Amino acid sequence: MTDAPGASEQLGRPGQPILDRLAFERLIVTHRRELKLHCYRMMGSLNEAEDLVQDTFLKAWRARSQFDGRGSPRGWLYSIATNSCLNAIKARAAARRILMQPARPPSDGPATGGPVAEIAWLEPYPDTELPAFADAEPGPEARYETREAVQLAFVAAIQLLPPRQRAALLLCDVLGWSAAETAQLLGGSTASINSALQRARATLGQRYPEGRPLQRSRPSPEEGLLLERYMRAWQADNLDGLVDLLREDATYHMPPWREWYRGRKAIGAFLETVWGNFAGYRTVATRANGQPAVGVYALSHQDVVWRPHSLHVIEPAGGAIACLTIYVPPLGPQLFAGFGLPPS
């Protein structure tokens, strides 16, 4: 493997003994978070990403004698991780995870279908597991900035790509590898990688008319105020106040339900049908996919304990909410532990 962008450390010089356990543990500490994020982008699952990054380091340790020190250990690890992901995708029932079913129109009125267990739903990713943005800057050939390439909408969009195209786009357009380096990793010619990239970019272009997702700025006081108002609306049982925070063209998704809504009026009408299902709500701020997020605890009419209900990922734009993705039961409560949120 040739040097990947940003990689300079070596396991050992050619002809010298390969690294010992202590040096390997330092390698794990250095690259664990960025490799886990890469596996998450490939798989769309926090749990699968954790398993695959563990598998990557186990395979790397067992194969350490095969690394001759001529290339980049970072590139070597990415090669193992990417191929582990591709094999895992082949072995599972669904090649991709989704936030909504393709071509499904927005709903109007109450949701009646119930949660859908047979769909593999895209999971959010806790910011506590992200590599430091300053340490994760892509190479010069990357097309996406680090902050936009972690957004939930971006990860959802790349799940639409066939696995090999997904891998090529992540390595080239997100990490900034050259087509030649990517071809060496994935196999095939540079021309085949360029062809895969063209098809992948065309697919994303259909999802994003401008060719890329909404660019995310750094967290700002305005964003913090929006999050505070959102949390207050839930805790004060203020549905009107919550709906006022939405843009007119906002979208609302609620995995694991199929239904989704577009527009402030439609979202408000739906929320009105479920708003009284609980006696009250409490909120805890967190972050997911580089975006503000909220863990919501609900108190049922027959209970005295506030229990995990839903995890809300917020996409702000221009001082309002452009998109809400609310992971509701039974999926929502299952995500709390991964975000370090208390069980009650």
What CATH number should be reported for the domain holding residue 63?
Answer: 1.20.140.160
Q: Burial, 177: exposed, middle or buried (Cβ in 10 Å; 0-12, 13-18, 19+)?
A: buried
Based on the domain organization, do 29 and 144 belong to the same domain? yes
In a domain, 136, yes or no: yes
Based on the domain organization, do 193 and 226 belong to the same domain? no
What's the pLDDT at 10? 46
Based on the domain organization, do 66 and 149 belong to the same domain? yes
For residue 107, give the 3-state DSSP assignment: coil
Based on the domain organization, do 246 and 184 belong to the same domain? no
In a domain, 98, yes or no: no
pTM attached to this predicted model? 0.89
What's the pLDDT at 18? 54
In a domain, 216, yes or no: no
**DSSP code of residue 69:** S
The first and second tokens of residue 40, run together, are 């998450």
Based on the domain organization, do 184 and 268 belong to the same domain? no
The first and second tokens of residue 86, run together, are 């591709």
In a domain, 299, yes or no: yes
Cis, peptide link before residue 308, omega less than 30° from 0: no
Query: What helix, strand, coil percent values describe the chain, rounded to 5?
Result: 45, 15, 40
Number of domains in the chain: 2
Based on the domain organization, do 200 and 297 belong to the same domain? no
In a domain, 141, yes or no: yes
Based on the domain organization, do 274 and 136 belong to the same domain? no
Helix (H) or strand (E) holding 198: helix 190-207
In a domain, 314, yes or no: yes
Strand partners, 324: 252, 314
What's the pLDDT at 123? 97
What's the pLDDT at 146? 78
Based on the domain organization, do 77 and 156 belong to the same domain? yes
Based on the domain organization, do 245 and 197 belong to the same domain? no
Of the residues 207, 239, 274, the one at which a domain ends = 207
Based on the domain organization, do 45 and 185 belong to the same domain? yes
Q: Which residues contact 343 (CB under 8 A, 6 or more apart)?
A: 308, 336, 337
Q: What is the pLDDT along the chain (344 residues), one digit of tens a residue?
A: 444 444 434 444 444 445 577 777 887 788 899 999 999 999 999 999 999 999 999 998 887 777 655 567 888 899 999 999 999 999 987 778 999 888 899 999 899 889 998 899 999 999 999 987 655 566 666 788 877 889 999 999 999 999 999 999 999 999 999 999 999 888 889 999 999 999 999 998 887 655 555 555 566 788 999 999 999 999 999 999 999 999 999 999 999 999 999 999 999 999 999 998 999 999 999 999 999 999 999 999 998 899 999 999 999 998 999 999 999 999 999 999 999 999 99
Of the residues 161, 177, 207, the one at which a domain ends = 207
What's the pLDDT at 256? 97
What's the pLDDT at 74? 85
For residue 317, give its domain range.
221-339
Q: Which residue has the tokens 């990239």?
A: 197
For residue 79, give the 3-state DSSP assignment: helix
Q: Which residue has the tokens 């340790």?
A: 61
* CATH code: domain of residue 291: 3.10.450.50
